[in-house]
């Protein structure tokens, strides 16, 4: 090949490559469009644990998409109040929120199953039911009726049973107690004579301080210590039988979810899964220190008695029967979760329970 022929062919090849590059650029841009969303949280920024889940989602989505898909989180009340987050997503005021599904039981009691119901699943079993059982499938069939797509995006683990101004020694001690409590648990305690109140996390302290309420549950030692509840209520009860492993959700406007490129849907799904795992890890790391700090402030720890737990368990079954008789969505999803729970706890008795019980005995005996 002479010199002139070589350069002529090289020019043609170069032009073809340039044309191919020019054609590829729009295709890449279409596959990775610039998208900016807003996320409203139901939690205050002061709680790096539970609010931090929204920040985890934002960071991981941006990193996975080279900054082409960005989600800006806003704390509760910066865009809408905490208890209006799901409505803001449904009506497309924002594309997304980070919240607890059970905050919206006033719209439909089925929302409660998405977070936690009394004597439901612990954190590990909730993950199993949502990811490998029918949890995500069934809950998203329901959420679709609300123009929402849901992704598990956090868990606190089993929570504490709340702060009380007076001791709760018997079932009758609940009578007349005005208690901040979320989800279906309020209906259960109402059967015992309590007066449930739905109050956002940031409003609990002043309500307790002023005596507007007599008791309140929030999450657990780390968050409760940061919010200062030990200053306004002496007795700290456990466990929160209504929150054995509550799921925090990322809700996405259904139309916005469906319009996302598949790669962005995958990035968001993976980011939420990370937030789910990381939040639980944070609580497991921070709660042991926080419970010691709370006790050092003069707080009295108290377990709910066996009689109280039994009464609440029976009241819960009554509530589920009442709701199921009127609500097909609740009945369908609740029965699926109960069937899963029966099998799961059969295995857990042999594995986790036996092992953990032995190790806890060693801890109490000072052998760890």
State the binding site for Na(+).
218
DSSP track, 251-278 = EEEHHHHHHS-HHHHHHHHHHHHHHHHH
Report CA torsion sign: 329, 330, 333, 336: negative
DSSP designation for 102 = G
List of E strands, the chain: 35-41, 69-74, 96-99, 148-155, 162-164, 178-180, 195-197, 215-216, 235-238, 247-253, 300-303
Q: Are 201 and 82 in contact (CB under 8 A)?
A: yes
Task: List for the chain the helix, strand, coil content (%; round to 5).
Answer: 55, 15, 30
Known binding residues? 159, 180, 217-218, 243
φ/ψ of 151, rounded to 5, equals: -135, 125
Residue numbers belonging to the annotated binding site for substrate: 159, 180, 217, 243
**Do residues 120 and 158 touch, judged by C-beta distance below 8 A?**
no
Q: Hey, how many other C-beta atoms are within 10 angstroms of the C-beta on 246?
A: 28
């Amino acid at each position: 090949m002479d010199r002139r022929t070589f350069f002529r062919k090289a020019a043609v090849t170069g032009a073809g490559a340039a044309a191919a590059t020019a054609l590829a650029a729009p295709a890449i841009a279409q596959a990775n469009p610039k998208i900016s969303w807003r996320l409203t949280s139901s939690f205050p920024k002061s709680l790096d644990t539970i609010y931090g889940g929204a920040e985890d989602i934002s960071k991981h989505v941006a990193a996975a998409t080279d900054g082409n898909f960005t989600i800006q989180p806003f704390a509760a009340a910066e865009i809408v109040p905490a208890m209006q987050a799901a409505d803001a997503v449904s009506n497309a005021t924002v594309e997304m929120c980070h919240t607890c599904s059970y905050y919206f039981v006033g719209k439909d009691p089925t929302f409660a199953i998405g977070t936690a119901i009394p004597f439901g699943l612990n954190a590990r079993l909730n993950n199993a039911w949502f990811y490998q059982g029918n949890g995500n499938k069934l809950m998203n069939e329901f959420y679709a009726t609300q123009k929402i797509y849901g992704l598990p995006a956090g868990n606190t683990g089993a929570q504490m049973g709340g702060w009380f101004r007076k001791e709760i020694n018997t079932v009758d001690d609940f009578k007349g107690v005005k208690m901040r409590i979320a989800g279906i648990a309020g209906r259960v305690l109402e059967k015992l004579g309590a007066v449930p109140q739905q109050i956002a996390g940031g409003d609990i302290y002043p309500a307790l301080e002023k005596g507007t309420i007599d008791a309140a549950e929030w999450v657990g030692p780390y968050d409760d210590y940061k919010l200062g509840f030990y200053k306004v209520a002496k007795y700290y009860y456990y466990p929160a039988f209504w929150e054995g492993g509550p799921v925090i959700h990322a809700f996405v406007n259904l139309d916005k979810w469906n319009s996302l490129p598949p790669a962005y849907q995958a990035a968001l799904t993976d980011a939420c899964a990370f937030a789910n795992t990381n939040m639980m890890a944070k609580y497991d790391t921070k709660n042991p220190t926080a419970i010691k700090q709370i006790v050092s402030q003069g707080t009295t720890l108290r377990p709910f008695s066996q009689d109280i737990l039994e009464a609440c368990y029976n009241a819960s079954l009554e509530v589920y029967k009442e709701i199921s008789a009127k609500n097909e969505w609740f009945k369908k999803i609740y029965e699926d979760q109960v069937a899963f729970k029966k099998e799961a706890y059969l295995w857990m008795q042999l594995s986790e329970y036996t092992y953990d019980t032995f190790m806890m005995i060693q801890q109490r005996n000072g052998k760890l």
